[in-house]
Amino acid sequence: MKKATALIVEDDPTLVQIFAKALEAAGFETQTAKTGETAWQLLQQYVPSVLVLDLHLPGLSGRDVLLRVRGDGRFAKTRIVIASADAELAESLHDQVDLVLEKPVSFHQLRQLSSRLNPTGLLGPEPPRPK
Partner 1 sequence: MSWQTAVVISVLFFSALIAITLAAFAWRRQEIPASKPFILLTLALAWWSVFYAFEVAATTLPQMIWWGKWQYVGITILPVGWLLFALVYAGGDRWLSWRRTAVLCIVPVVAIVLAFTNDLHHQFWTSYEAATAGGFSTYDASYGIGWYIYFVYAYLLMLIGSVALLRALRNFAAVYRWQLVLLLLSPLLPWISNGLYVLRISPVPQLDLAPFAFTISAVILGTGILRFNLFTLLPVARTAVIDSMSEAMLVLDSTNRIVDMNPAARALFRIEDDPIGQPVLGVLGAWSEAVQAYVDTAVASEEITLDIGDSTQHFHLNISPIANQRGQTQGRLVLLRDITMMKQAEEALAMAQVKTEFLAKVGHELRTPLNGIMGLAEMLEYGVYGDISAEQQDVLLQIIARTQHLTGLVNDVLEQTRLESGQFSLDIRPFTPFDVVNTLRDTVNQMITRKELTLLTEIDPDLPEVLLGDAKRVYQIMLNLVDNAIKFTDAGKIELRLMASDSAHWAIVVSDTGIGIPQAMQHDIFNAFQQAHYEITRTHEGVGLGLAIVHQLVQLMDGTISVASTEGVGTTFTVTLPMALEEIPA
**Site residues (CB under 8 A) for partner 1?**
12, 14-15, 17-19, 21-22, 25, 85-88, 91, 94, 102-108, 127-131
User: Among 127, 59, 34, which residue's Cα sits nearest to residue 7?
Assistant: 34
**CB of 32 vs partner 1, minimal distance in Å:** 14
**CB of 66 vs partner 1, minimal distance in Å:** 19
Burial class (CB in 10 A: 0-12, 13-18, 19+), 3: middle
**CB of 1 vs partner 1, minimal distance in Å:** 24
User: Based on CB atoms, which residue is closest to partner 1, 19 or 78?
Assistant: 19
User: Based on CB atoms, which residue is closest to partner 1, 3 or 103?
Assistant: 103
C-alpha neighbours within 13 Å on the C-beta side of residue 19: 29
